[in-house]
A and B are shown apart, each in its own frame.
Chain A
Amino acid sequence: MVKLEDLKEEARRLLKEGKVKYIIAYERNPLDGRAVPAFLRKPEDADRIAWDPTCVHNLVRFLVDEKRRKAKEKNPDTRPVGVVVKGCDSRALVILLQEKFIERKDVHILGLSCEKTGVADERKLAKRLKGKKAVRVEFGPEDNFTVTTQDGAVTVPAAEVLAGRCLECIANFPVVSDLLLGEKTKRTVANAFASVEPLESLPPEEKWKFWQEQFRKCIRCYACRSVCPMCYCDECVADTINFAVTADTPAEEKAQKIKWVEKSPLDSENIFYHLVRAIHLAGRCIDCGECERACPVNIPLRQLNKKMEKEAKVLFGYEVGFDPDKPALISCFRDEDPQDFIR
């Protein structure tokens, strides 16, 4: 069991000794009991830190902002930034290290093990509570969650309300960290790709029907892109102005910009956007599931990313986000890579 007090203590110490610039952690929104990202600067801020099954966010996302901010500063504070990570989040960090987007010395990693549970899916939880509002969700006892509503506390088996990503998690404790709290216990996952199999087994027309209905809902708010630590491109094909335009960019260059995809939420354009996102995350997505959680219209985006993760494993024996020194999935190959689809 993670002792929250240990985390607070460490955060307090780091901030007091000036070892870190600030710490990205979770705190509880007193109004609804849900965790939200918190940015701690003073030792006493450490008292606000929370750790419970509503800590769904992948805080590694905010290291992207940090890097951008730092790049603009004349005399940047070079101390590392502290960040609280779960197992999945730590794998996102591995990707950023692997791609040399951030350097190991710039981040102080406070790792928390989800042990045998994980985070709660808000929608599942709401269903389980049948309309009652959870004011607080806590880990334990054992592999259960304690959910407090206005009618008192109830014990809910974690498996019933765990987020889909947690049910298929292959790293329930951080793979890289400066401090690791909680135990390195492994929950057995029979099939890490179980969720994509029903769709995989459908004939093309039915798959298409499914996706067409899903993508028709897309309102292109780009929450999936915005919430993703790996979507850090300076220019995205989905933006109307995706050129890194500066005052020195000549008019010809701007005029020659290719418009790959329209801003209109047409079926074809929505699909194009999601295809590009899926392929760009192939071998990079570590299934933190944040895109799916953030989506306001409930498009099952993990179905795309998980499929790519599965193919990387099946076709190329590649596991994502464990080794920062390994080359990226598509910047390497093996002689024996399958080519039965090639004439």
Chain B
Amino acid sequence: MTEEFEPKIIAFLCKWCSSAGSDLAGVSRMEYPPNVVPIQVMCSGSISPLYIFSAFNRGADGVLVSGCHPGDCHYIKGNLYARRRLALVKKLLEHLGLEPQRFRMSWVSAAEGQKYTQVIKDLVRDLKPLGPQTKLRRNV
């Protein structure tokens, strides 16, 4: 039997909400797939589109950006800038022909450990049928 494809996911998590949410999931011993490489950033608004392109370029099968709910941003409105900017990134990637499932954004607060596990579970579930991401991956 062939081994099931396990997607590699890069998750950019804001320090104040989503990263804390992922910690909560961890200390609460909630189970979720181990496919994620979390990268803590100060704010979802600090995510340059470059990071996302680069993650795909270096072999990510999926990229997640997660920040605070609107109104909860530690920097007042960083997540709202992110929302606008990353909507454009998503549209651009889809215009190129990247599968829409590969790039996702979520709002996860520090209290939402449960939601975080669900976001990851859903993402892994959606990426598995797609197989490895080869389109933007560096081909040497």
Contact = CB atoms under 8 A, between A and B. Distances in A.
Q: Do chains A and B touch in the complex (CB under 8 A)?
A: yes
Interface of A: 196, 199-200, 202, 204-212, 237, 260-262, 266-269, 271-272, 275-276, 278-279, 282-283, 303-304, 307-308, 311-312, 315-316, 329-333, 335, 337-339, 341-343
A304 B89 CA distance: 12
7 contacts: A208-B96, A208-B97, A266-B138, A268-B136, A279-B92, A307-B92, A342-B106
Given A282-B88, A316-B84, A207 B136 contact: no
Contacts of A341: 87, 90, 104-105
Contacts of B91: 307-308, 311, 315
Given A205-B97, A272-B53, 13 more contacts: A204-B98, A210-B97, A260-B54, A271-B135, A275-B53, A276-B49, A304-B95, A307-B92, A311-B91, A333-B83, A338-B87, A339-B87, A343-B122
Given A269-B138, A271-B136, A311-B88, A343 B106 contact: yes
A339 B83 contact: yes
B119 interface: yes
B2 interface: no
A204 B137 CA distance: 16
Contacts, number: 117
A279 B49 contact: yes
Interface of B: 49-50, 53-54, 57, 70, 77, 80-81, 83-85, 87-100, 104-107, 119, 122, 135-140
Contacts of A262: 138
A266 B138 CA distance: 8
B107 A207 contact: no
A259 to B, nearest CB: 10
A71 B54 CA distance: 34
Contact of A208 (B89, B98, B104, B138): B98
Contact of B50 (A211, A237, A338, A343): A237
A285 to B, nearest CB: 12
Interface SS majority for chain B: helix
6 tightest Cβ-Cβ pairs between the two chains A and B: A208-B97, A207-B97, A343-B106, A333-B80, A279-B49, A342-B105
Contacts of B49: 275-276, 279
Contact of A266 (B54, B77, B97, B140): B140
Contacts of A205: 97
B97 A211 contact: yes
A208 B135 contact: yes
A312 B83 CA distance: 13
A211 B96 contact: yes
Contacts of A271: 96, 135-136
Residue among A199, A200, A202, A268 with most chain B CB within 10 A: A268
Contact of A279 (B88, B100, B104, B137): B88
Contacts of A332: 84
A207 B95 contact: yes
B88 A308 contact: yes
A235 B96 CA distance: 26
A341 B119 CA distance: 13
A343 B66 CA distance: 9
A343 B86 CA distance: 13
Given A266-B139, A269-B138, A342-B106, A278 B98 contact: no
Contacts of A315: 84, 87-88, 91
Contacts of B98: 204, 208
Given A204-B97, A260-B50, A278 B92 contact: yes
A279 B136 contact: no
A342 B83 CA distance: 8
Contacts of B96: 207-208, 211, 271, 275
Given A211-B96, A343-B107, A276 B88 contact: no
Contacts of B80: 333, 335, 337
B55 to A, nearest CB: 11
A19 to B, nearest CB: 41
Given A330-B84, A342-B105, A343-B106, A279 B89 contact: yes
Nearest to A343: B106
